[in-house]
Structure 1
Amino acid sequence: MHDIPGLPRAKGDEPDRKFIEALARGLDVLRAFLPGDGFLGNQEIAQRTGLPKSSVSRLTYTLTQLGYLTYSERMEKYQLGSGVLALGYAFVSNLAIRQIAKPMMQELANNTGTSVGLADRDRFKMIYVEYSSPTNVMAFRHEVGDRVPLSTSAIGRAYLTALPDEERQFFFTHIEKDNPDQWPAIKEGILESLTSYREKGFCHSYGEWDPDVNGISVPLTLGKNTIYCFNAGGPAYRLSRDFLETEVAPQLKNMVRNIEATLIRY
């Protein structure tokens, strides 16, 4: 069994007496809701989670009673409730790195004309927990809670480069399984980014996640299982590879060092 926190248990994993299966299934139901989804029915949730519809029906009923879902009798579907918002707000508001990083991220965004993000891993994707856009400049932007892939985004590649070799190989196996045809090109891009980090101190993705977006990223490791990543990027027509590597990368690396130093004193 893998020992990487935040990942679902795989079939064939040895039983863990401390692991509460019913709780895990309930959380999987909440994870089935993605940004922009609105309402989902039990059948849709069952398809997304792989759980039996009968189990989903009991779980959605329980989560509704607890305030984590709300039910529309007219539509016969569910949407996320205020209980989820309360949990999310508690997480973001108490995240020390977010409070420290925000002003530095905004300064970097204004100085370079790039969008600057802070992300954490959420299973096999990266999720943004903070984001800053430059003032008075048209920029590509994300919202807090948006997710991007580990394999092709700069910020995802930064996370992969910060992992020990054995853990990185675990993610490689998963990415290859989900993208068998594209895997050779994906792996080449990740390894190029890994080389860039070792030689230059930053990772990159130039049109590989989105053809119209260029970005660079730097990881920040705070403990064995705590890796945050910062990126800077935006529209490829305005932010060339040379500009990002020559002008932005030194400032991004310096910002991450300053955030790390501040956290140590925090």
Structure 2
Amino acid sequence: MSEKQNTLYVGSLAKGLKILRAFDETATEMSLSEIATRTGLDKSATQRLTNTLHVEGMLDKDMKTKRFRPSHAWLRMAYAYFWSDPLVQLAMPRLIELSQHLGATANLAEISGDHILYVSRIPGKSSHFSSTIIGRRLPALCTAAGRAILSTWSASECADAIATWSVNQMTAKTTLDRTEIGRAIETASRQGYAETQNQAILGQTGISAPITGPDGVAFAAVQCSFPSRLWPATRIQEEALPFILDAAHAIAPQLQRGYHAQGLARPMGET
């Protein structure tokens, strides 16, 4: 029996959540017709659900344009999430220390379906706006964090991810060839960290080390981004990599003493 056939599954609630998930960086505010088109819901259902979300404080509505956008209630939910995720609390001191030491953006990324989700970010001195926003999702196969995490999975799980997970042309140099991605993950498995260049942002190098649970499997990673013109490969190897590895290795034992990595236990949800 699928989740949607389960008698405990509430279809109307799922449709409301689908509307909330329709908003992202490419659709920051929408009309009813745009929401209906984006979600695939009929206009009548869209109108009822969107009005309910507005009345309940989840969506703001411009009374002149009749367009909707996320409300501050989303931040209250994010606040609750940060207190509920022990990994965020464990990682934050290390991320702050790492960013201050390197002058670079330091991130905590967790696996979310076939994407990685940045759940904590400490901006560096030359950060792009997009690299400072908590909650950003990127295809795991196209990121250093995603590849670092996958490098700790079993051969069969990793092969399945490489074959089926989504990839996205985020820059002109984003690698879409799955064989090449597989080789990069194998390299990450051998060396204990993953490295990418120009995958999500041109001119940026990403370095990521997995945070492993008691079984040696990771569902999260520490990741740092560097402007390539200021941080050539030799400088990263000598001045940054040891500290990134140390941060990930310092967090992992705390997970192993009583916390658990939650990645695969989380439902995939709709994207």
TM category (shorter chain) comes to 0.7 to 0.9
Q: Which residue of 1 aligns with 2:262?
A: none
Q: Could you say if the C-alpha distance between residues 158 and 45 of structure 1 is closer, same or farther in structure 2, counting changes exceeding 3 Å? A: farther
Do residues 217 (structure 1) and 205 (structure 2) align?
no
Look up the equivalent residue of 1:253 and give its one-letter code: L
Letter in 1 for 2:85: L
SS in 1 for 2:5: coil
Corresponding residue pairs, total: 251
Note if contact 2:222-2:247 (Cα within 8 Å) is conserved in structure 1.
Answer: no
Q: By how many angstroms is 1:188 displaced?
A: 3.4
Indicate conservation of the 8 Å contact 2:224/2:244, yes or no.
yes
Partner of 1:63: 53
Contact 2:58 2:73 in 1 (8 A): yes
Give the percent of matched residue pairs that are identical in Structure 1 and Structure 2: 24
Q: How does 1:84-95 map to 2 (within 5 A)?
A: 84-95=74-85
Determine the C-alpha separation between the residues in 2 that align with 1:138 and 1:132: 12
* CA positional deviation for 1:234: 1.7
For 2:39 and 2:219, how far apart are their aligned partners in 1? 27
Give the alignment of 1:92-171 within 5 angstroms: 92-134=82-124, 137-140=125-128, 141-168=131-158, 169-170=160-161
Question: Helix, strand or coil for the counterpart of 1:229?
Answer: strand
C-alpha deviation, 1:170, in angstroms: 4.6
| 1:204 to 1:226, Cα distance in 2 relative to 1, 3 A | closer
1:22 aligns with 2:23: no
Instruction: Name the amino acid aligned to 2:126.
Output: M
Go from structure 1 to structure 2 and tell me whether the alpha carbon gap of 1:39 and 1:183 turns closer, same or farther (over 3 Å shift): closer
Distance in structure 2 (CA, Å) of the matches to 1:146 and 1:159: 17
Unaligned runs of 5+ in 1: 2-8
Match of 2:194 in 1: 203
Equivalent position SS for 1:175: coil
Contact 1:152 1:189 in 2 (8 A): no
The aligned counterpart of 2:29 is 39
Determine if the alignment matches structure 1 residue 251 to structure 2 residue 243: yes
SS in 1 for 2:7: coil
Match of 2:233 among 232, 241, 249: 241
Is the partner of 1:151 in helix, strand or coil? helix
The DSSP-based 3-state class of the residue aligned with 2:41 is coil
TM-score by structure 1 length? 0.80
**1:175 aligned to which of 166, 182, 185:** 166
Deviations 1:194-225 (A, max 9, x none): 12222110012112332211011122244799
Q: Could you tell me which amino acid in structure 2 is paired with residue 25 of structure 1?
A: K
The Cα shift of 1:159 comes to 3.2
What is aligned with 2:269? Answer: none
Give the secondary-structure state (helix, strand or coil) at the position aligned to 1:254: helix
CA distance in 2, matches of 1:66, 1:14: 25
Is the 1:106–1:133 Cα contact (8 Å) retained in structure 2? Answer: no
Unpaired runs of 5+ residues, structure 2, are 259-271
